[in-house]
């Protein structure tokens, strides 16, 4: 008897290890926006944001291979590459954000950002939305609502209702700002105090609700009034995905105190960063002797530099803008009895399906739809509180021709996926 | 005016960013046990444990370059390499430890290990030594005593006096076990409860005190009696460094519930792991939906597999054993008025210098000694509570000929470094 890969995973990784799809795909090769499984079946990658400039981009692969053969050590010695990269990256940021700590994962970056807010304010209370994800460390996972932390939610975390453009429209963000104000008051009343709010400016894990630039203005005023910091998690929206802007916070129009980056930064090589103003950095650096062995090593820095250069050289931000508009036009033209809302910004797209006028989530239908699409050779997934929103978030080289393949297939899948009675 | 690298670092990274040495070295190339700085000066690397099988080992570089060109994605899809690696790694472990979570850093691994102890026991109290380091996340940094966490030490952490073979000899570990017993009683009395103890079985950050196999037996009995887990941080001792054994805990003779690995695992590529028994893994996996985007990706798995293969193919554990014995013989033959104790196990060596019969640390002298050695082209450092112990921890290919170069230079340096009046 041959052990299946699923059984082998369970034996070696333990129970409850997440995979995508009812029949997990077994991918063995990638190139650009394409993936191939072990049987040679080709998939269009409409989902992965880690291979930001395309799977196995030769310029990034070469940068990694070349530097790995020359030197890979840590930042307790001097090296130019990490400084070259920080200089290039901070040049993309305004708001006096000019300093950086390199880490290996977005989780590590957000874990630091939380401590920066604590170091600046001397308080520990933190606010996030109630349908988000900012990382898997003990500290960052306390902000996730999917599953309570071991030992229960800590007293210093307040989760406010995530924006939901379908069920509770809030065009000027005043409802959202009100929730934040109430959470701050509660933190202060409890004696914990308020250090800041962490948010993804695209609300990517919240299901990409339709919010417009300016949505966060009232919330920002409330946070500033209370002396809190704004910690902008750019792990998903950053690096050109928004199309119109390089960063999510630029698009939304808010002023971050701290910006964190992760997944797309080195096209899959484990690299991430925390960027901050010098005063914020100094508060953290003086309170905490932070050092990250692998963070900012020469190979990671080379991979980051190469990824940034490809974004520019290949005009990938512009491509994201162009493709975004095209995909949105085509998605808006879709017709289906359960399709309640099509949303998108840059190369983030959501299509929410509901069962009735009460917007009861059509979770099982979207689950089936995803499986049909995967069978057709399209890698995508679902998101949102009830998992009833189709989530499309392709690598940046995703073009018009790929968009046509995707939406044509989706049109067919919508016509054939069984609608609940 | 040209900005110095030190100034450029401060401008881009902020204040209080640690570098080694008064005049930080600017390393640009590495090969085997050798490093070269920007002026072409060659250094013998007697310190770095990250380039475990030697800087830029061609087999590891090739594995990274080859796999990066084929596919680099995450473990929500099936892939063989990560399973091949976990199978190979768990085959090196006893004590029914057969399952693994791949992460990117030892900090992430230890952050999980702490939650595993909590998930198994339902308690949160944790014990470590008072001169240790287990990581830089919010949760793991609470175990470090070098600088208090922002917001102060949390109530659930108890730090027990680290073994100190020079100042408080404790050959059978009964004093150490007594401290642990008192800490457990204190955690229980305070209502916090006891989840486990995290330790490096070589006590590497504690200054590599002279402890012998069996030292931890009494402590282990105390911990077992109290229902706690033993979380073995193998980031430094693991992967053959001990010479006589592949793991530190094998050498010390203790039974871990959880083993964590980091730095040396992929020879500098950011990879780390948490290994546990199935019951411990299940308790964590069922309490917490852990996923690490970069952890166990195909490139990291390929780098890990290659590193493990080189350790075996080149007999590096055996080399560590042989070199260890030789270095210890030569270090023991050193004579210097301030040299109080020479210690070592595997390719960890310490030489502690004191000013007087009260064992007053000769910190300034060792600081000078390190600078003299670096000027001579030898990369090493200092460790211990007062930084008065010379720390030598070379990559595993470090051989007899390198040991001779090192100890000859150290003999000269001891003769020329100014002794305080």
Residue whose pair of structure tokens reads 């554990």 in the numeric block: B317
Which one has a higher pLDDT value, B149 or A310? A310
Task: Please check whether residue B167 is in contact with residue B385, taking contact to mean a CB–CB distance below 8 angstroms.
Answer: no
Q: What is the rounded average pLDDT of the residues B260-268?
A: 96
The answer to whether the CB atoms of B5 and A78 lie below 8 A apart is: yes
Task: Please check whether residue A36 is in contact with residue A42, taking contact to mean a CB–CB distance below 8 angstroms.
Answer: yes
CA distances from B242 to A212, A231, A276, B207 (A): 59, 43, 41, 15
Q: How far apart are the first and last CA of chain B?
A: 41
Band of the pLDDT at B154, cuts 50, 70, 90? confident
How many C-beta neighbours within 10 Å does residue B297 have? 28
Mean per-residue pLDDT over chain B, rounded: 96
B94 contact A CB<8A: no
Give the per-residue pLDDT at B1.
65
Distance of CA A301 to the CA centre of its chain: 21
Question: Which residues of chain A have a CB within 8 Å of the CB of B72?
Answer: 30, 50-51, 55-56, 267-269
B48 contact A CB<8A: yes
In this predicted complex, what is the ipTM?
Answer: 0.97
The answer to whether the CB atoms of B294 and A64 lie below 8 A apart is: no
Give the per-residue pLDDT at B65.
98
Find, among B203, B278, B191, the residue nearest to B235 by Cα.
B203
The answer to whether the CB atoms of B68 and A76 lie below 8 A apart is: no
The answer to whether the CB atoms of A12 and B124 lie below 8 A apart is: no
The answer to whether the CB atoms of A28 and B79 lie below 8 A apart is: yes
| Chain A residue with Cα closest to B69 | A56
Band of the pLDDT at B289, cuts 50, 70, 90? confident
DSSP letter for B418, please: P
Could you tell me how many CB contacts below 8 A there are between chain A and chain B? 320
B15 contact A CB<8A: yes
Q: CA A190, A144, B154: angle at the middle one, nearest 5?
A: 50
The answer to whether the CB atoms of A286 and B15 lie below 8 A apart is: yes
The answer to whether the CB atoms of B268 and A111 lie below 8 A apart is: no
Euclidean distance between CA atoms B174 and B234, whole angstroms: 23
Optimal mutation site among A10, A14, A235, interface B, most CBs of chain B within 10 A = A14
Task: Please check whether residue B396 is in contact with residue B236, taking contact to mean a CB–CB distance below 8 angstroms.
Answer: no
- Give the percent of chain B with pLDDT over 70: 100
Band of the pLDDT at B336, cuts 50, 70, 90? very high
Euclidean distance between CA atoms A62 and A68, whole angstroms: 10
Comparing CB atoms, the residue among B76, B263, B290 nearest residue A293 is B263
Q: Compute the nearest-CA separation of B104 from chain A (Å).
A: 7
CATH: 3.20.20.70, 3.40.50.970, 3.40.640.10, 3.40.50.2300. Which one for B58-313? 3.40.640.10
Decide if pLDDT at B151 tops 80. Answer: no
> Could you check whether A5-53+315-416 and A58-313 share the same CATH topology?
no
Question: Ramachandran region of residue B349, left (φ > 0), alpha (ψ -120 to 50) or beta?
Answer: beta
Token pair listed for A329: 């036009």
Find, among A146, A142, A172, A175, the residue nearest to A160 by Cα.
A175
Q: Compute the nearest-CA separation of B388 from chain A (Å).
A: 20
Strand partners of residue B199: B232
| Residue range B24-69, pLDDT digits in tens | 999 999 999 999 999 999 999 999 999 999 999 999 999 999 999 9
pLDDT by residue for chain A (421 residues), tens digit each?
689 999 999 999 999 888 899 989 999 999 999 999 999 999 999 999 999 999 999 999 999 999 999 999 999 999 999 999 999 999 999 999 999 999 999 999 999 999 999 999 999 999 999 999 999 999 999 998 777 777 678 899 999 999 999 999 999 999 999 999 999 999 999 999 999 999 999 999 998 999 999 999 999 999 999 999 999 999 999 999 999 999 999 999 999 999 999 999 999 999 999 999 999 999 999 988 899 999 999 999 999 999 999 999 999 999 999 999 999 999 999 999 999 999 999 999 999 999 999 999 999 999 999 999 999 999 999 998 899 999 999 999 999 999 999 999 999 999 999 998 7
B287 contact A CB<8A: yes
Task: Please check whether residue A353 is in contact with residue A365, taking contact to mean a CB–CB distance below 8 angstroms.
Answer: yes
B68 contact A CB<8A: yes
Give the per-residue pLDDT at A147.
73
CA distances from A56 to A308, B61, B68 (A): 15, 16, 6
Question: Which residues of chain B have a CB within 8 Å of the CB of A118?
Answer: 150-151
Q: Compute the nearest-CA separation of B175 from chain A (Å).
A: 31
Give the per-residue pLDDT at A299.
98
Decide if pLDDT at B414 tops 70. Answer: yes
Helix (H, G, I), strand (E, B) or coil at B281: helix
Torsion from C-alpha of B418, B205, B178, B354, nearest 10 degrees: 0
Comparing CB atoms, the residue among B65, B78, B262 nearest residue A25 is B78
Euclidean distance between CA atoms B406 and B351, whole angstroms: 13
Q: Compute the nearest-CA separation of B329 from chain A (Å).
A: 30
Find, among A178, A180, A173, A190, the residue nearest to A159 by Cα.
A180
Find, among B25, B28, B47, B54, the residue nearest to B397 by Cα.
B54
**DSSP E strand boundaries for A222-261:** 229-233, 258-261
Residue burial B64-80, b: 16+ Cβ < 10 Å; e: rest:
bbebbbbbbbbbbbbbe
B77 contact A CB<8A: yes
Q: For residue A45, what is the enclosing H or E element?
A: strand A42-45
DSSP structure string for B262-276: -GGGGBTBS-EEEEE
Question: Which residues of chain B have a CB within 8 Å of the CB of A16?
Answer: 282, 285-286, 289
Give the per-residue pLDDT at B280.
98
The answer to whether the CB atoms of A288 and B150 lie below 8 A apart is: yes
Residue whose pair of structure tokens reads 């359960």 in the numeric block: A338
| Domains of chain B, residue spans | 5-53+315-416, 58-313
Residue whose pair of structure tokens reads 């080992």 in the numeric block: B57
Which residues have C-beta within 8 Å of that of residue A275, sequence separation ≥ 6?
A89, A90, A93, A97, A99, A100, A258, A259, A260, A261
The answer to whether the CB atoms of A150 and B65 lie below 8 A apart is: no
Please, which residues 291-320 of chain B have a Cβ atom closer than 8 Å to chain A? 291-294, 297, 299-300
The answer to whether the CB atoms of A293 and B50 lie below 8 A apart is: yes
Distance of CA B231 to the CA centre of its chain: 14
Q: Compute the nearest-CA separation of B239 from chain A (Å).
A: 18
Euclidean distance between CA atoms A321 and A210, whole angstroms: 17
Give the per-residue pLDDT at B20.
92
pTM over 0.90: yes
Decide if pLDDT at B271 tops 90. Answer: yes
Q: Compute the nearest-CA separation of A9 from chain B (Å).
A: 7
Find, among B352, B100, B104, B67, the residue nearest to A137 by Cα.
B104
The answer to whether the CB atoms of A30 and B101 lie below 8 A apart is: no
Q: What is the rounded average pLDDT of the residues B141-154?
A: 80
The answer to whether the CB atoms of A150 and B77 lie below 8 A apart is: no
Please, which residues 172-231 of chain B have a Cβ atom closer than 8 Å to chain A? none
The answer to whether the CB atoms of B270 and A297 lie below 8 A apart is: yes
**Strand B34-37 to B42-45 pairing:** antiparallel
Please, which residues 140-169 of chain B have a Cβ atom closer than 8 Å to chain A? 141, 146-147, 149-151
Q: Compute the nearest-CA separation of B420 from chain A (Å).
A: 28
| Residue range B200-221, pLDDT digits in tens | 999 999 989 999 999 999 999 9
Task: Please check whether residue B89 is in contact with residue B311, taking contact to mean a CB–CB distance below 8 angstroms.
Answer: no
Distance of CA B263 to the CA centre of its chain: 8
Band of the pLDDT at B147, cuts 50, 70, 90? confident
DSSP letter for A31, please: E
- Start-end of H helices in B295-344: 298-313, 316-332
Please, which residues 21-40 of chain A have a Cβ atom closer than 8 Å to chain B? 24-30, 35
Instruction: Supply the CATH classification number for the domain B5-53+315-416.
Output: 3.90.1150.10
Based on its alpha-carbon atoms, the radius of gyration of chain B, rounded to whole angstroms, reads: 21
Find, among B138, B358, B167, the residue nearest to A109 by Cα.
B138
Token pair listed for B14: 């902020």
Q: What is the rounded average pLDDT of the residues B179-195?
A: 98
A59 contact B CB<8A: no
A314 exposure class (CB count in 10 Å sphere: 0-12, 13-18, 19+): middle
Q: Crossing angle, helix B316-332 and helix B400-416, to 10 degrees?
A: 30
Band of the pLDDT at B16, cuts 50, 70, 90? confident
Euclidean distance between CA atoms A158 and A190, whole angstroms: 12
């Amino acid at each position: 008897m041959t052990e299946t890969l699923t059984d082998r995973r369970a034996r070696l990784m333990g129970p409850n290890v997440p995979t995508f799809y009812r029949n997990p795909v077994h991918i063995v090769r990638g190139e650009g926006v394409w993936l191939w499984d072990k049987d040679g079946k080709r998939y269009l990658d409409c989902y992965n944001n880690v291979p930001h400039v395309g799977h196995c981009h030769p310029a990034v692969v070469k940068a990694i291979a070349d530097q790995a053969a020359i030197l890979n050590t840590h930042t307790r010695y001097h090296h130019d590459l990490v400084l070259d990269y920080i200089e290039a990256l901070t040049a993309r940021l305004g708001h006096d954000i000019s300093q950086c700590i390199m880490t290996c994962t977005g989780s590590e970056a957000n874990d630091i950002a939380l401590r920066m807010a604590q170091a600046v304010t001397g308080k520990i209370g933190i606010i996030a939305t109630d349908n988000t994800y900012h990382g898997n460390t003990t500290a960052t996972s306390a902000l996730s609502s999917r599953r309570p932390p071991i030992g229960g939610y800590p007293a210093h975390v307040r989760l406010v209702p995530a924006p939901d453009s379908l069920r509770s429209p809030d065009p000027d963000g005043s409802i959202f700002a009100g929730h934040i104000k109430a959470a701050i008051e509660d933190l202060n009343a409890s004696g914990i105090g308020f250090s800041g709010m962490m948010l993804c400016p695209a609300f990517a894990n919240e299901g990409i609700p339709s919010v417009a630039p300016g949505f966060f203005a009232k919330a920002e005023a409330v946070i500033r009034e209370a002396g809190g910091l704004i910690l902008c998690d750019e792990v998903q929206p950053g690096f050109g995905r928004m199309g119109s802007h390089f960063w999510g916070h630029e698009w939304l129009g808010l002023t971050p105190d701290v910006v964190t980056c992760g997944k797309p930064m080195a096209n899959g090589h484990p690299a991430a960063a925390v960027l901050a103003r010098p005063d914020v950095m100094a508060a953290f650096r003086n309170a905490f002797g932070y050092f990250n062995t692998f963070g900012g090593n020469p190979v990671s820095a080379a991979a980051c530099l190469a990824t940034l250069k490809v974004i520019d050289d290949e005009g990938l931000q512009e491509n994201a803008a162009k493709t975004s508009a095209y995909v949105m036009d085509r998605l808006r033209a879709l017709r289906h009895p359960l399709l309640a809302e099509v949303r998108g910004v840059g190369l983030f797209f959501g299509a929410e399906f509901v069962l009735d006028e009460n917007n009861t989530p059509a979770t099982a239908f979207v689950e089936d739809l995803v499986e049909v699409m995967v069978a057709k050779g399209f890698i995508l997934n679902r998101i949102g509180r009830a998992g009833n929103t189709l989530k499309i978030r392709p690598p940046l080289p995703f073009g018009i021709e790929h968009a046509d393949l995707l939406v044509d297939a989706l049109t067919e899948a919508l016509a054939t996926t069984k609608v609940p009675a």
